A and B are shown apart, each in its own frame.
Chain A
Amino acid sequence: MNTITPATTPRVPINHFLPYWAVLESDFKNTFNSWIYRVWVLLSIAVAVGYLLYRFGARQVAGMIQPAPETVSDLLHWAILGSVTLIIAVTAGTICSERGTMADSVLSRGISRYQYFLGKLHSRLALILGTFLFQGLLAIGGAYCMLHGDALTLHGCLVALLIVGSMFVFVITFGVTISAMSSNTLVSIAVVWITIYGGGFLLTQLPSSIPSPERALLNLPNVMRGYYDWNDLGRTMLISLGVSFATALVGMFYFSRRDV
């Protein structure tokens, strides 16, 4: 090794936003390149394309017409139920899978635990929600072109995507939070999976005045036709986002005080 120059350089001004951005960007790239994310994207696209083609074929060959809102609603419904498992797998190992030397090499630098947690959370939110919205818009576009699209309204479709998106926000936030609190990826995945599916099931058993993911999903065809009560849906989305925010706060404060 050549001689390294002694530290004669004056102290440079620190950009406090940069560590957060570095973690976000790096995690976004790593997740984008991970096999589990690719499996999720490929499966979702394959299911959407296959279902749309099946419905298109049924209409062309047998004359079985299913209106586009029902078709897209079915797709979103199965996206939630099916994709959630893979989204849990993508998010529940976010932090705990990097424990040990890998986390050491990041957390021993000039980054706070808050920045690290938020960088990870926001990268997963951006990637998964971005992917979901992109897939959703493609599915709606496909349904509009290939099926009986007259009944679809643009604002109804956007609201439907927002409803499902707000549910995903909770799933992602909860996954990242548990990964920050757990030491083991498999345990983390199991806890998130049981809580999400179990909690969703329990909510369906409660009186209909209490919002539940299942009831919101069953109402999607009407929403896409433009028949919805914005106050009710807004309340459901706000509850989901509020619970997500509270969950993230708990995870962040716990992570800021634990050993890595």
Chain B
Amino acid sequence: MAENPSDLVVETHQLTKIYQNRQIALNDVTMKLEPGTVLGLLGHNGAGKTTLLRLVLGLHCPTAGWVKLFGQYMTPNAASLRCRIGYIPTSPQFPAGMTPITYLDYMARLFGLPSEYRKPRLAMLIRAVDLLASSGDRIENFSNGMIARIAVATSLINDPDLLIWDEPTLGLDPEARRSMLDLIKTLALDKTLIIASHNLSDIDEVCNHAAVLSNGHLIYYGSLQDLKGRMKRNHYEFELEGDQKAITRAMQALKNMSDFKYVNIKQRRLEIRMSDDANNTNALANVFMTLADNNVTVISIRSVGMQTEQAFLDLVEEEASRGFARAVKNAA
């Protein structure tokens, strides 16, 4: 834990954004980001993810509350704070007629980097993102993957301490997505990252913390492990081997148990969903005993649904079900 507030990379306090008194985009968001955190920012479309990022960057001014970066208040004119941030917007756009070299040079100059530093740095980054062969071509002719690579190079040109990447894997093919995730893991070794994404498997793979926004409200902020711990593990799939009649008998026996609200078999694949009040250890033990009694062999077992995805959906569902109790802080 960071003992000194100035050790925090990002700190927000009761951050609220209301657009023109018409739309509440963000409501009372308080969080603290310590160095080395890789934060996955989750939420449905319109949940307030991009608004939060824009407030952190000083592109928007808060209606109430504040944002501090590295212990200092973020404002639209806090250029020195932004010099420590590398940002990739959703679907980045580039000025017409620029090549990777001219664009990166322009971006480096926007950070005030002198020529003797920025030229070697941009050359190194162009090589690192595999754009050496296209470094003189116009960016408007580039594919999504190449544009993503330029965006990555741009966000690293100033050697930032904090990286804010909004949907970095959006529109990438599987190979480029894999490279992006590997890069995030490498960068996470010595930088703080905020990754906003709809792709929960990406978040699951690279992040150690999660923030979940729902309708502009922060409904979860903490470690990804804790988020998964909140998940209701009640949906399993077994791959079985044995006599078909024995499998059917086992299924009938399971259907008669009160622990399960859904039991189904399809081509030797047994799917069970437990009742909400069932103890999942006992219920699983019953499944194994029933299968053993009927001489059915278990080849594999897996928990159905992505862990983070399930936890996210549970959280959003729980938030929605709270109704007006949301107005009371300690109602949960």
What residues make up the interface of A, taking CB atoms closer than 8 Å to B? 1-7, 9, 12-19, 21-23, 26, 30, 33, 100-102, 104-115, 256-260
Contacts and interface: CB of A to CB of B under 8 A. Distances in A.
A3 to B, nearest CB: 6
Q: Which of A9, A104, A260 has the most CB of B within 10 A?
A: A104
B79 A259 contact: no
A8 B88 CA distance: 22
Interface of B: 54, 57, 59-61, 76-80, 82-83, 85, 87, 89-95, 97, 106-107, 109-114, 117, 121, 124-125, 127-130, 149, 152, 154, 156, 158-161, 179-180, 182-183, 186-187, 189-191
15 contacts: A1-B149, A1-B182, A4-B186, A6-B189, A14-B83, A18-B112, A19-B109, A104-B89, A105-B89, A108-B85, A108-B87, A109-B107, A110-B79, A111-B82, A260-B60
A14 B81 CA distance: 12
A115 B186 contact: no
Q: Which of A7, A9, A256 has the most CB of B within 10 A?
A: A7
A15 B112 CA distance: 5
Contact of A7 (B113, B128, B159): B159
Contacts of A16: 112
A7 to B, nearest CB: 5
Contacts of B112: 14-19, 110
B98 to A, nearest CB: 9
A9 B130 CA distance: 21
Contacts of B189: 6
Contacts of B54: 104, 259
* B60, B91, B112: most-surrounded residue (chain A CB, <10 A): B112
A257 B76 contact: yes
A259 B114 contact: no
Nearest to B164: A108
Contact of A19 (B89, B111, B117): B111
A1 B77 contact: no
B106 A22 contact: yes
A23 B109 CA distance: 9
Interface of A is mostly: loop
Given A1-B130, A257-B76, A13 B82 contact: no
B57 A108 contact: yes
A109 B156 CA distance: 11
Given A4-B129, A109-B110, 11 more contacts: A1-B180, A7-B161, A7-B191, A22-B106, A108-B59, A109-B82, A110-B80, A111-B79, A111-B110, A114-B77, A256-B76
Contacts of B191: 7
Contacts, number: 134
A258 to B, nearest CB: 7
A119 B228 CA distance: 49
B114 to A, nearest CB: 5
A251 B82 CA distance: 23
Nearest to A33: B97
Contacts of A3: 128, 186
Contacts of A2: 127-130
In order of increasing CB-CB distance, the 10 nearest A-B pairs are A22-B109, A110-B83, A109-B110, A14-B112, A110-B111, A112-B77, A112-B79, A108-B87, A259-B60, A1-B179
Residue among A1, A3, A6, A18 with max Cβ neighbours from chain B (10 Å):
A1
A17 B109 CA distance: 9
Nearest to B90: A101
B179 A18 contact: no
A256 B161 CA distance: 25
Nearest to A2: B128
A5 to B, nearest CB: 7
Nearest to A29: B97
A26 B89 CA distance: 21
A258 B109 contact: no
Which of A9, A17, A100 has the largest count of B CB atoms less than 10 A from its CB?
A9
Nearest to B51: A259
A112 B82 CA distance: 9
B190 A6 contact: yes
A115 B190 contact: no
Contact of A105 (B76, B93, B114, B183): B93
Contacts of B110: 18-19, 22-23, 106, 109-111
B20 to A, nearest CB: 10
